[in-house]
Structure 1
Amino acid sequence: MSAQLAVELDRSSPVPLYFQLAQAIEKAILGGDLAPGDRFENELALAQRLNLSRPTTRRAIQELVDKGLLVRKRGVGTQVVQSPVHRPVELTSLFDDLARAGQTPTTKLLDYRVGPPAEEVALELNLGPDAEVVSIRRLRCTNGEPLAIMNNHLPVAIAPDADELEDHGLYQSLRARGVHIRLARQRIGARAATREEAGLLDEKTGAPLLTMNRTAYDDSGTAVEFGSHCYRASRYHFDTTVVDR
């Protein structure tokens, strides 16, 4: 059965009808009225039911396909997909944010090694040439879907053990060791996925990825962690609030 959504359109409004329709469908998906896996009404039936032109409904649906909220599947039709993760740009961990949002985060440890830091890592953590760091690479999933690849580097003295990292978030493990992160400097960007990243994230090679590099500092102002992460742009957004000064 295809889901039929009750939609009210204001035909006297200057807001285009396709945009009103797209907003109504997006609200229903994000609000849980349309669940992941639900088949969505085909555009011809939707156009007839709402007395809209077919190009109008096609454009509304395409808006949501482009946002990653709907997917077209041959032989199946249009389906609702898992809602993207909207993450505020705050001093929190992805694991904690997902758990608070009622999602089910899981982690696969891809690599865990101890050794001398690369030049960039040594610079970010203010380490000398003889220092050693623990370098961790993880795949973070939510509700069974891959979401992000996370690379973290920490001084050996405070780094969690490998067996902790598949059950707990990194910042949670640091707090358990008495390390409280108070400040972070981060840079957000974007790039194309490599073949290896695409395979891990269930994307095509060259698909857009969001990136974030973060250097975190503890109560004393000491750099305690440097992270370099990439996220599926089809499944992940950063939210910011801009204030006029």
Structure 2
Amino acid sequence: MAKTGERVRAVSGSALDALHFALDRSSPVPLYHQLAQQLEAAIEHGALAPGNLLGNEIDLSTRLGLSRPTVRQAIQSLVDKGLLVRRRGVGTQVVHSQVRRPLELSSLYDDLEAAGQGPTTAVLRNERVPASAEVAVALGIGEGGEVTLLERLRATHGQPVAFLRNYLPPAVADLDTGRLEATGLYRLLRSAGITLHSAHQSVGARSATAEEAALLAEREGAALLTMRRTAYDDTGRPVEYGTHVYRASRYSFDFQLLVRP
């Protein structure tokens, strides 16, 4: 067994070969939680990549010098988060890292790219449609007026993360489907000379419809995070209204709260 504060190294035979784990037996933090935190950090930072095998619980407990229940509890906590999956006859495998976004005016594409998540985009719709009452209010135009509708499926490591629906006034920018699949919407808006200044955003949650579940590789009724956002340029003009849904198993918002003086 590893001693207090000892750096534990996995022996050959799995993706853990090059990793070290500092487990402190004198800490009030349970060993399973320490191990889970360090495995999660390795996944988030790319040291453990999607598809990597960790071996089975018996192998892991032997390699790490921990009891099997400790390893099982650590693995289960990451399975519950959707970061690992158990495969019969194979062992424990890395699925993906969860997407964490700062609560600020940024595009999902830029955030994923900055995090090394390798984002890809499939454009499902790019067409002119009449504005509904909701869209008209958000963009400050008349109901029934023409807007550009974009529907895109965003993925990382070959796994869908979000279904994005955006509405833009036609005068804002002419958005080519090929460019939309190669980069992010906000990046294209900036290249068109639009300075994004602020946004009003609301975040919620609901269950996936059958259509959304099929797009996002989830079961119908699975938990989804939702976001509605109206973005404004530096003149105060609404330039984009988005209604997005995200897989709750793969996505979270990070933000800092300050005490008001």
Output the TM-score relative to the length of structure 2: 0.86
Shift of 1:212: 0.9
Query: Which letter maps to 2:116?
Result: G
Q: Which has the larger displacement, 107-116 or 223-232?
A: 107-116
Distance 1:223 1:25, change over 3 A: same
Contact 1:43 1:54 in 2 (8 A): yes
- Of stretches 146-155 and 28-37 in structure 1, the one that deviates more from structure 2 is 28-37
Counterpart of 1:20 (choices 9, 24, 34) is 34
Which position in structure 1 is the counterpart of 2:87?
73
Matched, 1:131 2:142: no
Aligned equivalents of 2:234 and 2:40: distance in 1? 41
Question: Pick from 157, 167, 172: which aligns with 1:143?
Answer: 157
One-letter amino acid matched to 1:216: A
Aligned with 1:185: secondary structure? strand
**Partner secondary structure for residue 13 of structure 1:** coil
Q: Could you tell me which amino acid in structure 1 is paired with residue 257 of structure 2?
A: V
Distance 1:235 1:17 in 2: 25
Structure 1 pair 216/81, CA: closer, same or farther in 2 (3 Å)? same
Shift of 1:50: 4.3
- Give, in whole Å, the separation in 2 of the partners of 1:20 and 1:48: 17
Cα separation, partners in 2 of 1:102 and 1:17, compared to 1, 3 Å = closer
1:55 to 63, 66, 69: 69
Alignment partner of 1:190 out of 181, 205, 213: 205
- Residue 236 of structure 1 is aligned with which of 225, 232, 251? 251
Shift of 1:47: 2.9
User: For 1:29, what is the secondary structure of its paired residue?
Assistant: helix
Distance 1:61 1:190, change over 3 A: same
Stretches of structure 1 that go unaligned for 5 or more consecutive residues are none
* Cα separation, 2, equivalents of 1:170 and 1:227: 11
1:35-54 equivalences under 5 Å are 35-54=49-68
Inter-partner Cα distance in structure 2 for 1:51 and 1:206: 41
The residue type equivalent to 1:20 in the other structure is Q
Equivalent residues, number: 245
Distance 1:232 1:244 in 2: 31
Corresponding residue number in structure 2 for 1:3: 15
Percent identity of equivalent pairs: 58
Is the contact made by 2:154 and 2:161 (CA closer than 8 Å) also made in structure 1? yes
2:109 corresponds, among 95, 110, 117, to 95
| Runs of 5+ unmatched residues, structure 2 | 1-12
